[in-house]
Amino acid sequence: MTASPRYLTGDGEGIREFIDKFDVFLFDCDGVLWSGDHTFPGTNETLELLRSRGKQIVFVTNNSTKSRADYQKKLDGLGIPSTTEEIFSSSYSASIYISRILQLPENKRKVFVLGETGIEQELRSEKVPFIGGTDPAYRRDITPEDYKRIAAGDPELLDPEVGVVLVGLDFHINYLKLSLAFQYVRRGAIFLATNIDSTLPSSGTFFPGAGSISAPLIMALGKEPVSLGKPNQAMMDAIEGKFKFDRSRACMVGDRANTDIRFGLEGKLGGTLGVLTGVSSKEDFVTGPTRPLAYLDKLSDLLGSN
């Protein structure tokens, strides 16, 4: 049984104590720092407070369609000061996993990508060769000829050097790409996903998320991908590998109990902090199965320690 989380809003001493416990704060973004394209009041002041006390800030995002550089521009556009180095995305996490953790045979190093430019940029930054992705050659209907060529294993269509299929959110998903990804995995390629979020919040409603691009393959293959995004611990390992912190002195901040808070708890971080400006409710945090160490009405309540 998990203990009840401490409610810190308005508790100046509690907040000071809490902040002092950690050197690193990992932030989920949408629902914590902003919602849609609206930055919550006090976001910047709160980040400034933490930075002024020497805390390392890491922005952790499952958004695979943007590279870290793109995402930094997004933060800029929202008026939130950041550096590319502070950003950790699921496409970067997946690229690191492929380049540094997977031991691919010499002749199986190519990645077939279902996804957008963010994945491509991060694979390039890790010097991982890839095909698919935004290549217009794959943005077409399947033809009767394709079925035969795929069945015959035509190397012009099924590159024999592909050893990994990496699936993120692909706004240009089509049956040809799904058929190729399916065949690659059937023929032995490793099945990875940047993340498996079921939905994508946009314009105040929801759209199918990255998980819905993996879903056809999961159904057809009867096999789950290794997901490199939250709450998968491969992402935490990659973050730790890069920032070299003491997990007991790190805190995950998020609005979703079953992803953000779970990510911090399973990563055995020293702390987890829930905020009520996103998906999870007070009830989720206080009586749900996945409870943070502490929670706040909103992130900027951390300013109440002054």
Residues with catalytic roles: 28, 30
Q: Taking a C-beta distance cutoff of 8 angstroms, is the pair 285, 257 a contact? A: yes
Amino acid present at 35: S
Specify the pairing of strand 24-27 against strand 250-254.
Answer: parallel
Q: Taking a C-beta distance cutoff of 8 angstroms, is the pair 217, 185 a contact? A: yes
37 is in an annotated binding site: no
- The site for a copy of itself (CB under 8 A) is made up of 141-142, 147-148, 150-152, 170-175, 178-179, 182-183, 186, 198-199, 202-209, 211-220, 222
Residue closer to a copy of itself (CB basis): 120 or 197: 197
Q: What is the Cα–Cα distance from 18 to 188, expressed in whole angstroms?
A: 48
135 is in an annotated binding site: no
Smallest distance from a copy of itself to CB 63, Å: 15
Smallest distance from a copy of itself to CB 155, Å: 15
Q: What does 162-193 look like in DSSP terms, one character per residue?
A: EEEEEE---TT--HHHHHHHHHHHHTT-EEEE
268 is in an annotated binding site: no
Q: Taking a C-beta distance cutoff of 8 angstroms, is the pair 297, 274 a contact? A: no
255 is in an annotated binding site: yes
Alpha-helical regions (H) of the chain: 12-20, 43-52, 68-77, 90-96, 117-125, 144-152, 175-186, 211-221, 233-243, 262-266, 282-287
Which two structure tokens, joined as six digits, stand for 303? 């300013």
Smallest distance from a copy of itself to CB 95, Å: 23
Residue closer to a copy of itself (CB basis): 199 or 287: 199
Q: Using the structure block, give the residue that is written with the tokens 């950041």.
A: 82
Residue closer to a copy of itself (CB basis): 210 or 302: 210
Amino acid present at 257: A
Residue closer to a copy of itself (CB basis): 9 or 212: 212
Smallest distance from a copy of itself to CB 248, Å: 35
DSSP letter, residue 294: E
Annotated binding site for Mg(2+): 28, 30, 255
Residue list for the binding site: 28, 30, 230, 255
Binding residues for substrate: 230
